[in-house]
Structure 1
Amino acid sequence: MDYFDETNTPLLRRKLRIMHSKVSRNRSMRSNPEGNSLMSNKKKKLSLPPADTMDTLRKKKQTYDNFDDFEGKYLAQKSKALNRSLESNSSLDTTTPDTLSQISSIAPYSDVTMHTTLNHFKKAKAKPSDETWENAVSKARGEPDGAEKSFHAKKLSRTVIKEDMEGEEAEHKEDKLVTPTKPLQRKKSIKVHIKNAASKLKILRSKSKLNTSKAGSKRKMDVSAFPDESTVAMKKPKLKELSWKERRHERKMTKNNFEIIKKAKFVWEEMRRHKLPDEKRRKLCEELFKMVSGKMYEFALAHDTARVVQCLVQFGSNEQRTSIMEELKDNIVGMCKSKYAKFVIRKLLKYGTKQQRSFVIKQFHGKVRKLVRHREASEILELAYNEYANAAQRLSIMEEFYGPSFTLFKNHATKSLDQILTEQPDKKDMILSNMKEALLPLVDKEILIHSMIHRIFFEFFTYASGKMRSEMIELLREHLVTILHTRDGARVAMHCVWHGTAKDRKVIIKCLKTHVLKVCKEEYGHMVMLAIIDVVDDTRLVHKALLDEMLKSLDEVAQNQYGRKVLIYLLSPRDPLHFHPDIVHVLQEGDKNTTSKKDGKVRSQELADYVSSALLQYVVDHSRDLVMNNNTLLFILAVISHARGDPTEAMLAISKIAAEPFVAGNCDNFHIVEHPAGHLALKRLILNDKERITANEDVLFSKILLKVVPPGSLKSWAACNRGCFALISLLEVDDDDVTTAVKQQLSGIRKSLKKMTFSGAHLLVKKLEASSPTRPQMIDL
């Protein structure tokens, strides 16, 4: 059939459309690879030449038997030309693609010669027997990102294909057998070429490359492979190739004033030595000051150069400190907020003059409420307030919490909030409301550690009352543990305990759990424990939350001076023998609270009953250590005098120590009678029997002592001054049995006592003579 006949052009076009539809379906079976592909840029059509060349092709009709032969040879020539262009491009281009988009943009490499005929597309359901242009492109590119197994290309095998002719000439159908062809050998794909080119490029970029060539059994070195010395000098190494120290040095070199910083740090290392002579240090200060002058603020902000400025402030002269202050005076507040520059301000406060300190504190004016909430600046503000500010400067800092009028208008005549409220009582509500508003943001764990904040809270609780005070207690009750270490903070906690509700007190006590030992041992924190003992009605809660934890570490509490006060207060609250009147006066402020309902004596009795047995047993187990320690003297006396229970075992343990053999003048092992603390404990325990006799108690320490001490031991006591005073105490008990027993043992040593030179012996003789009955005088007849 003549395919170039003009009458058959519609049939030809129809077959071409079928061919294009199959190609498009094959292309849509997989997603487009990353980047711009050749298919999108230049749409290749497996079709005949354009219509304008049809006449030329008709002229060449006689050279071809049919159209299929013509089409196959035409496409074969076209694919060979394309292969030659790809080979030339791959040989010239040696650059390594970086991304998949660059790989996908490379022209596809044709693996095999494509033979495509129109007969392949005549039957729509038949599988193609040869590879299409799209399959060649996919093999050259490789699998695109995200491609799944279902889109993988299938290997095509050469098989016998039965082709059916369709169209208007259906009567001329005939089966054509295609003989199996030999599988073509696959050439290297473009992916392999790219990989080889990348490896070659990597080798060429290496530091050193030896090109060797075999000439017999010897290998010659290619000198041109080594880089030139000038090239090596100009080449800058990468950061990955450097060590950690070298990378850090490279980063520092990029900073401004690198050379000056390097020299300044060298001088600083020399100047900060302790054994450096003063003259040399002075010269180094001058040299360092010249380097750093004009760059103080910039140096103060860095962690290493800030030390240089600190050292210069510390060892520099007054003129140099003045120059530094002049340079930094406009940035004081900003430096207080800096992590490293704040230490320069600390040095200025410590080594600066009085005027310089006042200038630094004056810079805080109007900014205190903001600075106190800043993590870094609050430390400097706290230091200035506690260490370097006078009374007027402290009040100026505190006034910013009283209200804006006190911030703007400073009255230097006033010295405290009490004076302000006395002079202007109508401003009390305004000041307290402003204080409450300012204190609410400060209820934070990190801010509450500062004593300046404790002072503000204490002033608020001193004058606040009613609902305003209750609201503040509710906010502060869970954070009292963090403010107990200062005087004002402990007073604030005491106000919360006194004026809080039963629920507030319960929360406060539970928050103190696991901190009881530390609170008892603090100078001001133990006052909070005394306030809890005074006013909390729920004694069982106190037993479980506080006293149990205290008794577990009883030895550690008893050995501390403030811990002993807590233990003594449990047995004898507000005893003037153990507690100063000022402390008693402070504790009496809690008696006005409206929350406590239980009688104070009943509450004290319940607490004393709970701890008495443990304290008496502690005295028995540690009697020698307690008796020989001057600090625990009153503690022993309080336990034996006020503990609920039988103190006989404790008295017996102390009496056994006194019954030990005594040799006067033995400095190696002091007896309790001659020990500086032991003889006082012995005297006080003996004299305490007077009170026990008045209270009609049967157990007396003096009687137990005389029973335990061997006969004749009292005579050895009289050989020293302190022993004589102990015997005098026994005679002053005013108990007939005790007095008689002492006189019987001392009856034969009166003459010896009169010969003694110390005062105790003379007083003992007078006491014996005064207590003995007078004899009737003999009359001579």
Structure 2
Amino acid sequence: RRRSSGNRRRGSAIPYQPEGGKKPTRKLPDKGSGKPLKAAESKRLKSNKPDDGAKKKTTPETPRERRLAAKEMSEARKKKRKPHYSLEKELSLLWEKMRRANTGKEEKSKLISEALQKMKGKTLEIASSHVSARVLQTCIKYCSLAERDAVFEELKPHLLNLSRKKYAVHLVKKLLDNATKKQLEGFISSLHGHVASLLRHTVGSAVVEHAFQLGNASQKQRLLMEMYSTELQLFKDLTRTNASRLVDIISKLGLQKTSVLQHMISVIEPLLDKGNIDYSIVHAALVEYFTIADKTSATDVIQQLSPLLVQESSVIDEDQPASQLLKNKKRKRTKTLIPLLVRMMCTRDGLKIGVLCIKHGSAKERKKIVKGMKDHVRKLALDQFGSLLLICVLSVVDDTKLVTKIVIRDLQTTIKELILDRNGRRPILELLHPRCSRYLSPDDLACLNLTVPSLCSQSDDRDGTVNLDSNEEMKSSETMVTDNNASETLSKDLHSTPGSKKDPLVRRQELLVDSGFAEAIIESCIENVAELLRSNFGREVLYEVAVGGADGILNSLTDRIGALHEAIASVASLPKKEESEVEHVFENFHSSRTIRKLILSSPTFATTLWMKAMKSKCEMWAQGHSCKVVSAYLELSDPNVKEMVKSELQPLIDRGVLKCPGPNPDHKQAKKES
């Protein structure tokens, strides 16, 4: 009752007005009546009173006004959230001016100096912003040496922390690119004890790799040694040793092999789990790990590595045909999926990892690796180390149908380009003449014959397989090759690879002849015979095809090889033109030596060339580079060809135009070729 009596009915003071349909209005007390107003009513009255001094607050009505209001609100929030927001806006305006192509050097240097002056004392905060960090990168790229040193000194204590930040990492890499030798040495020294942890970091690993690429041999070794042992990670003086191989470091410093293995496993396993093995420093560490790993550990690492090799990631593809150029004549940059195995071929250590995984992987793992090469065979073939990886696949993988489908078919589509290329010709030469020291350097042969010592049986070592600790033995064996027969014997020994059950000659026959690849090579040589003869690299493929390949691999294609001999003789039979810019094949440096080798190696070719191009013209060709071609007929061991050319060459010898060969020309020629 108290509550009901105390609350008066508010509507009692407002008279009811049913007429006119108007809303009932509340009757306000007269001014000076003495009755106090309620708080809500007094507030409403005050708000209705016009105030000339206060601005009226208008709500945005048009879309443009709403956009401007939202922009103002966003700017206000950013100012509260970012302490240097106004500075960042000023730097952005300066950046837009300094990065223009039509900005002169003097004006650009003034803008850079102005921007650096504004950032002075605030560089650390600026480096962490995704907008202003780009301004700082541009300033470091174009500023003077004194200005760059000032920025480096200001950021020097914080470089390690900046290496872990998403946007600042690009600034650190730019500083390292433009750093002096002393500054780079100081940064690499600051990395001591943090290499393993940074490699596990998604962002920081790029900085370690960048420093590894920029450093000299001693600095690279110091960064790498931290991944070997806890002692090397703690004590900086131990890393300054002259030994480079892990086995030598263990023996020189007296480290325990088991503790080194455990530490390396603790470093490598997180990298394998994350798939963070794109970097050359990781490849170098893995190669050294395999030299001391036991059988179980090495097998586990290879099993973890093999699936990662075929994983694809999106990267910018710079190698695109000219048909995809844009209208403004700029090359279109698109992102393509490239497997890790292809990306690893940028270094020799990456090649070694790929070779070891192919050799010691199971048949199933090899199949996955070969399938992962699909659509990337051409790129591998034209690469220095990628071509060696293809050679390993062609000489190790037993599934020739799969290799033919993936590798051979892709090579066949660009056969002329491969024959004329320095690296592209090597997979073709591997099938024609495997592991020939004329086409592969000792370092290349050492990479192709790497094995993991703990995964190789004693029988493999007796057969001539070279492990990771016996590269010097392989190099010394290469110097013993003095003729073609010895080279072929060495190639047979080197082909006995672990994990391969098929006979090497059968594998070559299936990949080269049965697949139709040999016919395509011969046809390409016939069509481009003049160009290949004068080419420094194409002539080697032409020579191997014309002699039938090693071990008589092309004996079933004698008719097509005869057609190639006819094509070479036809080019040689063309008349010599004094005013022509193109040299005759007998006078060209490369072609004259190739034809000479063919005469000495193939009596069939020597007969064809004599009958079609040399007969009754020897006196004309007995001078200059062409003299080597004529003299080759005097060094032949085939009696039939010797008897055929004797009547024409003997008068030239009697007159002193040609010199009679020495007592043992075959040995002399073999020594020259070796």
TM-score (norm 2): 0.69
State the distance in 2 between where 1:436 and 1:705 align.
63
C-alpha change, 1:639 and 1:246, in structure 2 (3 Å) is farther
Q: Does 1:457 align with 2:360?
A: no
State the distance in 2 between where 1:537 and 1:725 align.
43
What are the residue-to-residue correspondences of 1:270-349 with 2, within 5 Å?
286-317=113-144, 319-349=146-176
Q: Which residue of 2 aligns with 1:724?
A: 627
Partner SS state of residue 577, structure 1 = coil
Q: Which residue of 2 aligns with 1:701?
A: 605
What are the residue-to-residue correspondences of 1:171-250 with 2, within 5 Å?
231=55, 241=64
Bigger mean CA deviation after superposition, 482-491 or 411-420 = 411-420
Contact 1:401 1:438 in 2 (8 A): yes
State the distance in 1 between where 2:112 and 2:633 align.
74
Q: Does 1:442 align with 2:271?
A: yes
State the distance in 2 between where 1:483 and 1:404 align.
28
C-alpha change, 1:588 and 1:257, in structure 2 (3 Å) is closer
**Cα offsets for 1:429-459 (capped at 9, x unmatched):** 2222322232223236862222122112211
Bigger mean CA deviation after superposition, 549-558 or 456-465 = 549-558
Partner SS state of residue 561, structure 1 = coil
Q: Which residue of 2 aligns with 1:651?
A: 565
**Cα offsets for 1:504-531 (capped at 9, x unmatched):** 3333323333332222222112222222
State the distance in 2 between where 1:574 and 1:493 align.
18
**How far did residue 392 of structure 1 move?**
4.2
C-alpha change, 1:470 and 1:726, in structure 2 (3 Å) is same
Q: Which residue of 1 aligns with 2:318?
A: none
State the distance in 2 between where 1:652 and 1:492 align.
45
**How far did residue 687 of structure 1 move?**
2.0
C-alpha change, 1:353 and 1:240, in structure 2 (3 Å) is farther
Q: Does 1:579 align with 2:440?
A: yes
Q: Which residue of 2 aligns with 1:103?
A: none
Aligned with 2:373 (options 508, 512, 516): 512
State the distance in 2 between where 1:86 and 1:367 align.
84
What are the residue-to-residue correspondences of 1:349-360 with 2, within 5 Å?
349-360=176-187
C-alpha change, 1:380 and 1:244, in structure 2 (3 Å) is farther
Superposition CA RMSD, Å? 4.3
State the distance in 2 between where 1:245 and 1:565 align.
65
C-alpha change, 1:288 and 1:594, in structure 2 (3 Å) is closer
C-alpha change, 1:279 and 1:89, in structure 2 (3 Å) is same
State the distance in 1 between where 2:52 and 2:25 align.
30
What are the residue-to-residue correspondences of 1:91-106 with 2, within 5 Å?
none
**How far did residue 286 of structure 1 move?**
4.8
Q: Does 1:395 align with 2:298?
A: no
State the distance in 2 between where 1:633 and 1:731 align.
23
Task: Identify which of structures 1 and 2 has the higher relative contact order when contacts are C-alpha pairs closer than 8 Å and 6+ apart.
Answer: 2
State the distance in 2 between where 1:243 and 1:392 align.
63
State the distance in 1 between where 2:185 and 2:149 align.
14
Q: Which residue of 1 aligns with 2:521?
A: 615
State the distance in 2 between where 1:239 and 1:369 align.
58
**How far did residue 683 of structure 1 move?**
1.8
Structure 2 segments unaligned to the other structure (5+ residues) = 5-11, 28-49, 310-340, 452-459, 462-496, 664-674
C-alpha change, 1:703 and 1:376, in structure 2 (3 Å) is same
Aligned with 1:635 (options 541, 555, 558): 541
State the distance in 2 between where 1:245 and 1:354 align.
52
**How far did residue 84 of structure 1 move?**
7.7
Contact 2:98 2:108 in 1 (8 A): yes
**How far did residue 475 of structure 1 move?**
1.1
**Which protein shows a greater Rg?**
1
C-alpha change, 1:659 and 1:336, in structure 2 (3 Å) is same
**Cα offsets for 1:322-373 (capped at 9, x unmatched):** 4423432343233223343223212321233333323333343333333223
Q: Does 1:476 align with 2:299?
A: no
C-alpha change, 1:658 and 1:368, in structure 2 (3 Å) is same
Q: Which residue of 1 aligns with 2:355?
A: 494
Q: Partner letter of residue 88 of structure 1?
A: K
**Cα offsets for 1:670-725 (capped at 9, x unmatched):** 32222333222222211222xxx5xxxxxx1011112333864545434x522333
C-alpha change, 1:260 and 1:586, in structure 2 (3 Å) is closer
Partner SS state of residue 648, structure 1 = helix
C-alpha change, 1:432 and 1:707, in structure 2 (3 Å) is same
Q: Partner letter of residue 458 of structure 1?
A: V
Contact 2:653 2:660 in 1 (8 A): no
Contact 1:662 1:717 in 2 (8 A): no
Partner SS state of residue 443, structure 1 = helix
**Sequence identity, in percent?**
28
**Cα offsets for 1:252-290 (capped at 9, x unmatched):** 573544554454455555666789887776665554433
C-alpha change, 1:637 and 1:362, in structure 2 (3 Å) is same
Partner SS state of residue 619, structure 1 = helix
State the distance in 2 between where 1:316 and 1:609 align.
62
C-alpha change, 1:412 and 1:337, in structure 2 (3 Å) is closer
Q: Partner letter of residue 656 of structure 1?
A: S
**How far did residue 384 of structure 1 move?**
0.8
Q: Partner letter of residue 628 of structure 1?
A: R
State the distance in 2 between where 1:506 and 1:425 align.
42
Aligned residues: 542
C-alpha change, 1:339 and 1:243, in structure 2 (3 Å) is farther
Q: Which residue of 1 aligns with 2:23?
A: 88
C-alpha change, 1:451 and 1:240, in structure 2 (3 Å) is farther
Contact 1:661 1:713 in 2 (8 A): no
Q: Partner letter of residue 453 of structure 1?
A: V
Q: Partner letter of residue 626 of structure 2?
A: G
Contact 1:252 1:258 in 2 (8 A): no
Q: Partner letter of residue 303 of structure 1?
A: H
Aligned with 1:733 (options 636, 642, 661): 636
Aligned with 1:431 (options 242, 260, 281): 260
